[in-house]
Structure 1
Amino acid sequence: MRRHINSITSLQNEKVKAMAGLLDKKHRDRNGKFIVEGVHLVQEALLAGAQVDTVVFDAERGMPKELEALLQEAKCELVEASPAVMAKCTGTDTPPPIFGVVAKFERDASSLFMDNSLVVVLDGVRDPGNVGTIIRSADAAGADAVVLGRGCVDLYNPKTVRSTMGSLFHLPIVEAELATLLPEAKSRGIRLVGTSLQASSTCYSYDWRRSSWLLLGNESNGLSSESLQMVEENVIIPMRGGSESLNVAMAGTVLLYEAMRQRHYAEH
């Protein structure tokens, strides 16, 4: 049986105004929803069992073939819209053929404290591309969770969501107050690890097989003074060439992959 599909062409439609509003954080916070753009992200949201309220596709381009079967079974509202509506409700210069409206996640912080946990903690990381890349790397390297502390870019910012390439649906991402969370982690025997150019240990000599939380700080200023005081061990990423440093997303990826190597690929 063919799904019922609503049609919207006017930019003055109230539903269009509400969806376009989700490009702004205040409306995302007020409504508890966010936008996912493109075939891949809509597919990831549906496959992950996220609460997808509405899926909107470009009436001129038609429903993407890759999603026909999934959307036939999905319980979300289906809408075909004019190209102008697609452009108004999405954040890219070239509007995608499809987007979805998804409810924000409710994630339990208890997932952070599993045995031998490997968690990435972001402290004031502002660039959506960096945050999205770190989430993607954490997913790829098998980390247990990602924590976004105060001062980080909004997880549901459209640029952040796009940069995760769907990984935000694969592992817990917790927004938390680090001043409360980090002492609790220490009290549970979790090692808090930072990076420093003055560190005596390299990322290859640190034992990532034990419960470790990797703290990554702001692109310009590094970790806040409060987080620095909580760090128990600093490591340095060795560099043989002339580069002065790596950006935070690249550094996080290198460290996560060394942790994965030790945990899953080290010789016994």
Structure 2
Amino acid sequence: MSMESNDLYIGSPQNDRVKGWSSLLDKKYRDRENRFIVEGVHLIQEAAEAGVVVSQVVYDSERGVPAELESLRNGALDRTEWIAASKAVMGKCTGTDTPPPVFAIVNKPEMPRERLFGEGRLVVALDGVRDPGNLGTIIRSADAAGADAVVLGKGCVDLYNPKTVRSTMGSLFHLPIVQEGLMELLPLAREGGAKLIGTSLQADHSCYGYDWKQSTWLLMGSESVGLSEEVRGLVDESVIIPMAGRAESLNVAMATTVLLFEAMRQRLV
């Protein structure tokens, strides 16, 4: 690790630029600026590889630029501003007691709506999923299982919440994630030939009997109440995940993962 002699150094958490960066911990300012914070070497590498605009990389001056990022200074991040900062600055901008060695300010990626529609699409549509850890896990599972896109409907936690970003482990850069109302998109999906599939403990059909090879939008609801009444009214069919043990149910992230991997299994046959 090293600190480049020509890199700007910022030591005070009261610095105006630091205040601007730390404001991105708040959704209101992320929406206004159309930017967000990514923390750690891996997420910065993923952002650079995805080709999104990384305006600044800020690193702990005592620890220097992480070795894994050195090659990016003259490559994918050659137009990025590199800034050394004190631990106090690192902590203020990441909102953590043990701040990472590096963070970056990144433009929100473009999310093309077109990939939501078309033959054979597998889309995960979320209704009121509020827990950032659950949302991040669902996005990782959708990425791993080869889903085409994820839609975040009304009441979902912000995709760019720092906890959500961390829990995606970079998968938010791998597939389109659209934040838009389900009541507008679901009828369009159905018009395009997709089946709208929900889950229910009262469903008669097993998820293993459903034909996941056809165009499908998998609708998953909030941790506490499931799908909202208005979204449930659009469901074409509900399936149940059979369970051999005594657990009453799975949480939304685990249930979504099980269903996505069954879809992947069928689609790979």
In which range does the TM-score fall when normalised by the shorter chain? over 0.9
Residue 3 of structure 1, CA deviation: 8.8
Counterpart position of 2:104: 100
* CA deviation profile, 1:189-220 (whole Å, cap 9, x unmatched): 10000000111111100000000000000000
1:215 aligns with 2:223: no
Supply the AA of the counterpart residue of 2:74: Q
Q: CA deviation at 1:12?
A: 1.5
CA contact (8 A) 1:3 1:72 kept: no
Matching residue of 2:135: 131
1:200 paired with 2:204, answer yes
Q: How do residues 58-97 of structure 1 correspond to structure 2 at under 5 angstroms?
A: 58-73=60-75, 74=77, 75-97=79-101
Q: Per-residue deviation at 1:246?
A: 0.2
3-state secondary structure, aligned to 2:74: helix
Asked if structure 2 preserves the Cα contact closer than 8 Å seen for 1:124 and 1:150, the reply is: yes
Q: Deviations over 1:34-83 (max 9, x none)?
A: 00001111111111111111100000011100110012321111101001
1:184 equivalent in structure 2: 188
Question: Which amino acid in the other structure matches residue 156 of structure 1?
Answer: Y
Deviations 1:125-146 (A, max 9, x none): 0000000000000000000000
Match in the other structure for 1:47:
49
| Aligned match of 1:168 | 172
In structure 2, which of residues 152, 160, 168 is the aligned counterpart of residue 156 of structure 1? 160
Counterpart residue number, 1:234:
238
Match of 1:117 among 100, 117, 121: 121
Contact kept in structure 1, 2:118 and 2:192, CA below 8 Å: no
* TM-score relative to the length of structure 1: 0.97
The structure-2 alpha-carbon separation of the partners of 1:3 and 1:238, relative to structure 1 and needing over 3 Å to count, comes to: farther
Contact 1:55 1:76 in 2 (8 A): yes
Give 3-state SS (helix, strand or coil) of 1:55's partner.
Answer: strand
Please give the per-residue CA displacement for 1:70-100, whole angstroms capped at 9, x wherever unaligned.
Answer: 1232111110100100000003321000000
Runs of 4+ in 1 over 4 A off after TM superposition: none
CA distance in 2, matches of 1:56, 1:145: 31
> Partners in 2 of 1:71 and 1:115 — Cα distance?
41
The alpha carbon displacement at 1:4 in A equals: 4.2
For 2:59, give the aligned amino acid: F
> How big is the shift at 1:157?
0.2
When the two chains are superposed, the root-mean-square deviation of aligned CA atoms in Å is 1.0
Structure 2's unaligned 5+ residue stretches are none
TM-score, normalising length: structure 2: 0.96
Report how many residues are paired: 264
Q: Identify the residue that residue 27 of structure 1 maps to in structure 2.
A: 29
Distance 2:63 2:74 in 1: 18
CA distance in 1, matches of 2:18, 2:256: 38
Q: What is the SS of the residue equivalent to 1:231?
A: coil
Residue 151 (structure 2) aligned to one of 131, 147, 154: 147
Instruction: Give deviations 1:103-160, integer Å, cap 9, x for gaps.
Output: 1122121110132000000000000000000000000000000000010000000000
CA separation in 2, counterparts of 1:50 and 1:163? 19
Identical pairs, percent:
64
Given that residues 4 and 78 in structure 1 are in contact (C-alpha distance below 8 angstroms), is that contact kept between their aligned partners in structure 2?
A: no
> Is this contact kept in 1: 2:198–2:219, CA < 8 A?
yes
